[in-house]
């Protein structure tokens, strides 16, 4: 990302089809009244996306509280079903530099979506690359089978409108509060975004989580499921960056398989 005048600009001349367009659609979809503000798209094409430039400031406790409350509102604005792409987009998306499968038709549950679209595509890719072996693949498959059996589903919690790649680098602390960038937006589980926030460290995280819970109390045992929701981003990192992420992902898979 570069700064050009009053804009942030991302440019990639070899971008795959829809790379920037689906990101812009995700930003528009996440911009709900009372939710977390986003970096507003200004211009999008097949090789670039520009957004309004933000003046960045150090994180504060007050900004963290506001972010937590706003994130709950964003999630509560909902989605038509698990895996649904953002409005205005009818194909798959991207997370980082690799594909993110979307569900164009409703699936029966979050567990089915997460196993079949959130984990298995990256397991296949990692296996084909030779980054994980057959024994390791089976460890992850045990998790997928429990997911599709519904063991981790919560029927009382409908699909949320999630950012989908909410690591701390995609949270910008600006003079006007937190803004979100670089989404892999889709209909998902609220705990996925919250688990991702802390994966690589997050300033003021506990204040964010506490404020979130004031607006939407989280289900019992949600902290025990953090690792389950981190399997997706870890596997995408295995595919993009190699085997250094495999031990952490395997350790988490053993817990939930």
Tokens of 28: 């528009």
> CA 77 from chain center: how many Å?
16
pTM, rounded to two decimals: 0.96
pLDDT digits (tens, 9 = 90+) for 161-192: 999 999 999 999 999 999 999 999 999 999 99
Residue with tokens 């024994």: 135
For 206-235, the pLDDT digits (tens) are 999 999 999 999 999 999 999 999 999 999
pLDDT mean over 48-66: 95
Looking at residue 169, the DSSP 8-state letter turns out to be G
Determine phi and psi for 133, rounding to 5 degrees.
Answer: -100, 180
Distance between the two ends of the chain, CA-based, in angstroms?
A: 39
- Give yes or no for a contact between 167 and 199, defined as CB atoms under 8 angstroms apart: yes
Residue ranges covered by each domain of the chain:
54-254
CA pseudo-torsion sign 235, 257, 104, 78: negative
Buried b (16+ CB within 10 A) or exposed e, 212-222: beeebebeeeb
CB neighbours of residue 206 within 10 Å = 11
Domain covering 54-254 in this structure, CATH number: 3.90.1200.10
Residue partners of 194: CB distance under 8 A and separation at least 6? 209, 212, 218, 222, 226, 229
Helix or strand run (H / E) with residue 144 = helix 134-148
């Amino acid at each position: 990302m570069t700064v050009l005048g009053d804009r942030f600009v991302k440019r990639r001349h070899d971008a795959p089809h829809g790379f920037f367009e689906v990101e812009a659609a995700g930003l528009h979809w996440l911009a709900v009244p009372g939710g977390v503000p986003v970096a507003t798209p200004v211009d999008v094409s097949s090789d670039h996306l520009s957004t309004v430039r933000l003046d960045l400031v150090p994180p504060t406790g007050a900004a963290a509280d506001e972010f937590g409350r706003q994130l709950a509102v964003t999630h509560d604005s909902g989605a038509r079903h698990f895996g649904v792409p953002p409005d205005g987009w009818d194909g798959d998306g991207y997370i980082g530099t690799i594909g993110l499968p979307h569900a164009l038709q409703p699936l029966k549950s979050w567990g089915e979506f997460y196993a079949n679209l959130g984990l298995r595509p990256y397991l296949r890719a990692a296996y084909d690359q030779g980054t994980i072996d057959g024994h390791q693949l089976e460890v992850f498959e045990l998790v997928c089978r429990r997911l599709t059996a519904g063991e981790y589903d919560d029927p009382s919690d409908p699909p949320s409108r999630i950012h989908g790649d909410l690591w701390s680098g995609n949270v910008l602390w600006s003079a006007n509060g937190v803004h979100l960038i670089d989404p892999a937006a889709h209909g998902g589980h609220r705990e996925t975004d919250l688990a991702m926030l802390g994966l690589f460290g997050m300033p003021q995280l506990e204040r964010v989580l506490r404020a979130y819970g004031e607006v939407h109390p989280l289900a019992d045992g949600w902290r025990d499921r953090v690792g389950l929701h981190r399997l997706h981003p870890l596997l995408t990192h295995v595919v993009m960056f190699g085997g250094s992420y495999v031990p952490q992902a395997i350790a988490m898979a053993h817990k939930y398989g």
